[in-house]
Structure 1
Amino acid sequence: MIQTVPQTNFHDGNCIDQIGYGVWKVADAEAEVAVGKALNAGYRHIDTARIYGNEEGVGRAIASSGIPRSEIFVTTKVWNSDQGYDKTIAAAEASLERLGLDYVDLYLIHWLQPQRGTYVDTWKALIQLQKDDKATSIGVCNFTVEALEELYEQTGVRPVINQVETHPYFPQTELRVYEAKHGIAHESWSPLGHGGELLTDPVIVEIAEKHQASAAQVVIAWHLAVGNVVIPKSVTDSRIIENFEAIELKLDDEDLAAINGLDRGAEGRIAADPAVSDFE
């Protein structure tokens, strides 16, 4: 029986479970069921977003779980087309209504979208939402070092977390060094590298066999060991449980060195580059 879920401290005095349950590409009705299963498995950190189209399902799962609201950490995000001060305030209120909540534990800017030039005003809106107790903590997704610096220079407030594509083929080493220096937590999306190649990599498979664990558990354990917050997604009962149980897997220095050696640099990136991406 898992007793303690590791936590990551935020610089604003709050904290987050280091492992959470993500619902990207999960339909609303399916999200209600899946989040219910995740909560039953022990997850208390749920990550959704307006663009996922499943905030209502997540909210229904939370409401019917029987778990006190104070024990569940909920993240959602403002989408690109809702950026800008006034639009962000309205988008946050709409997300809260869909979730059926008075506040979220973490509200994030979903993408940098640098060409639009709206991310600083959007960040100012998040600061106001935090002051208004609509968001306990505020952060960003897919931000570069330069953009993180600009947010601080313009507002004096640093995000508590930056959620970006991170996995052993693309570990974001330089970004994580900067974040650690400034007290910004690092959160990994696509932590399993979209599965496929990474989960069949001979290095990962060998370590999994060594520990009598699954390949996914090895990768999740690597994220936890290097200090990343991680949000694996699955709608399969057994994998929801299996992913959560990765918190019990302790990799040794040899394992970590081998996994760190899988770094492909920029060639390891799977998704869009936040420094140049621009989409609705």
Structure 2
Amino acid sequence: MKFLTQTFRRSTRTRALAVAMALGLAGGALVMTQRTAMSAEAAVVIAPPAVDEPPTAAHTETAVLAGGCFWGVQGVFQHVRGVTNVVSGYSGGARDTAEYETVSTGQTGHAESVQITYDPSQITYGRLLQIYFSVAHDPTELNRQGPDVGTQYRSAIFPANDMQKQVAQSYIAQLNKSHAFPAPIVTKTDALKAFYPAEGYHQNYLTLHPDSMYIAINDLPKVANLKRLFPTLYRDKPVLVTTASK
């Protein structure tokens, strides 16, 4: 029961849709179809970053990004070529508050985030950011994404070093200058202090629950947009979590 409560806490709108579908109301199905179509149109075609990370001899790098509910962001990057692992978790707050129930209060400083491990010889940090801004979330929404509201759903990049900070800030400036989006980007760049993996039931959520209404409405369209807009970077079989989570 606790798991179901946590899942449906995502939004009152999702709860309303669940009731409508349970009652077999055609109107509920119509609303879901319309909202899925609206979500699918949210992807934006944008230019790659003019400034990107230089070639490196390293075989593994990590990036920490926040863009709303981590289920969908994780699901998107699990389908990206060159990515070797994506973990849902929390960043921006203290270790002792890195727990779902506490983070959900919006008072911890944490954002639902993902830690992306990738091979820089196959995909760059800048290209990851291009996917992040284009299909993984809407960077013009302040402290929310879709039906999810609160600072824990904010748009944030957590650079691990000066290079990542430079690439991220330069790209935000580039996109704003080109008016790539109809409104200014609100994404913040906050130095990475730590990343804390989320509870086990949050990992691989999109892959494990594709029939969830929340996933169908909000997240599966993102994966479809990744395939459509980045066909050379898309892979059909997702890379699932391999690191330990609490």
Task: Answer whether TM exceeds 0.5 for this pair.
Answer: no
TM superposition score normalised by structure 1: 0.26
TM superposition score normalised by structure 2: 0.28
Higher helix share: 1
Considering Cα pairs closer than 8 Å and 6+ residues apart, tell me whether 1 or 2 has the greater RCO: 2
